[in-house]
Chains A and B, each alone.
Chain A
């Protein structure tokens, strides 16, 4: 009776699941097709979950206005909005609306959620862009360095830095940065995306995009450009460091992993220097998992963006979400969350496609 399996059993048992995951055949086209189809259940599940969760507690109108309006007026408004109908009916109406791109209308300021997205989405996108730049610029070189210095003091310091990046809530990092660089040293602006003057100038642009970086370059005014960039420094660093820590760890682990492979050994035996091994040989294959993980970073970035935007009064989607939360406008919250679900599902798809194009092993 082999209740206690010997080490060799475990050894032979290991390749099986790995092989199973890779089998199944099919080329790139098939993979992309299947992966594309997977978007729909993902969106469907998230949207359904958000709907059910938000509606189990009652209707949004009572949540927003309950206590402030007399009961009969409240009932009237609930009836007008259709929240007194059976849940199933509301649910299918909601699904139908989402299919046509209607994510609802906010209660507090009566705007379509999609319009909120168009107005403020650019700001969040811009913030995520800055954060990713910081994350790449900090995370990848430091990760390679940590792998190179493996098990030395430098490695330990870098790893603790990575953990600190992760352990520091973005809003605390933001507060500290603000305290030091804006309040004490006075080098950088405290909050916002641009000063009022620059914002006015960009508002007047005929082809404004809402993405200040692009708009600033459109004005061609160096003062506006530097103003916009200066405002971006602290939020970008605060949000970027969070991801930088993860990139650092990932690059380190993967470079160490590829360090043990035969081809690196072969290169080493040919007399290639250690530093070149890290930079050229072990580094590139180690980047593949990073591409996969960036997909998951989108979720983290979006969550972090809500907090960063609140900290820096960066008027993006996250800032809006937080203020709708504060005013208990749950229709808006539900709409924005559902919309973000769609965005997350789409970006994950794109990232998976890129990963599949780069690494053939991904296409199962």
Chain B
């Protein structure tokens, strides 16, 4: 159950986040989850082994046989053609996975850290601190994330980034956008868990506030994190690409970034040059698709009403009771889950 495992004898394998859901899923839902996992795995492998897989460097303009030439159509030497700047499109697409993965990791780790901490403290302590933080988080949450990221990018990099610092600038800009989301979810869970009997019991035996907060509440409140993680990972890629497209990307000589490449492809398209736009764009779509499929499947499996029919059957008796959200699951824009009201839908039987 949500509070703590109701069946203590489950094996470790079954309790691992994704493996458990994979076993739980049936039919199409399993298909979507598996497809998502495959795409995500390919993405991670490409990112890690980019130096080995990519035929050229991301900033390479020439090889032994001379310069690549600008806007060359796809050929045997350059499967995806070359860009207006004379880079190899295939190589930049592959190297781009590395940038994207780095940004996701940094952004998500930073925002989980800040958001979870704030959410725990705010939800547990309550009072005026809680109210102020909620109003601030709501204000930030309602604001166009791209605009916030732009402001943050200006602050961090002065609007132009030229090194691995560019990756950090993009990641931190995205973090600013994500903190409220983690904050909201963790805070809502904390407020709910705070009222549970085991928290009171812990207080009775004399556990300190910080111990209750970081041991008892924290362990239970972070149940939904893998889900939000997948949602935000895909949003991180889109925000990074958006920043790059608006010219806040990472310079082509320091790293490959798909949004930047698409920006440069904008004028190519008008003259019928399709390869410079198509491949980086498809890369974004595939990665976001893969991660979202995983997140979406996890979300559905966590909500008994959305789980595949066969598995719902067994638990249908308790279905109506398990959700806090009346009238249905409220989806969040851009996100894919029950962020709005992290309901007590997760019954990992």
What is the interface of chain A, defined by CB distance below 8 A to chain B?
1-7, 9-11, 13-14, 16-18, 38, 41-42, 45-46, 49-50, 53-54, 56-57, 63, 151-153, 155-156, 159-160, 163-164, 166-169, 171-172, 175-176, 178-179, 182-184, 190-191, 246, 249-250, 253-254, 256-258, 260, 285-286, 288-289, 292-293, 295-297, 299-300, 302-304, 306-307, 310-311, 321-322, 325-326, 328, 330, 333-334, 337, 340-341, 344-345, 348, 361
Contact = CB atoms under 8 A, between A and B. Distances in A.
Contact of A310 (B4, B245, B288, B330): B245
Contact of B269 (A178, A293, A303): A178
A297 B142 CA distance: 9
Interface in B259-308: 259, 262, 265-266, 269-272, 274, 277-278, 281, 284-285, 288-289, 292-293, 296, 305-306, 308
Q: Pick from A49, A303, A334, A337 the residue with the most CB of B within 10 Å.
A: A303
Contacts of B270: 178, 182-183, 190-191
A299 to B, nearest CB: 5
Contacts of B331: 246, 249-250, 253, 289, 293
Contacts of B274: 179
Nearest to A16: B195
5 contacts: A3-B201, A5-B4, A169-B284, A183-B269, A344-B144
Given A11-B318, A182-B270, A296-B333, 17 more contacts: A4-B3, A6-B1, A6-B6, A9-B196, A13-B195, A13-B344, A46-B139, A54-B154, A159-B32, A167-B238, A169-B238, A285-B327, A292-B330, A302-B147, A307-B245, A334-B151, A337-B150
A249 B192 CA distance: 27
B142 A2 contact: no
Given A14-B324, A178-B269, A42 B150 contact: no
B155 A54 contact: yes
A340 B147 contact: yes
B152 A53 contact: yes
Given A176-B281, A292-B330, A322-B246, A256 B147 contact: no
Q: How large is the interface on B (under 10, 10 to 19, 20 to 34, 35 or more residues)?
A: 35 or more
B2 A10 contact: yes
Contacts of B6: 4, 6-7
Given A151-B27, A166-B334, A345 B272 contact: no
A317 to B, nearest CB: 11
Contact of B143 (A38, A46, A56): A46
Contacts of A167: 234, 238, 284-285, 288-289, 292
B142 A344 contact: yes
Contact of A179 (B277, B285, B288, B308): B277
Nearest to A163: B292
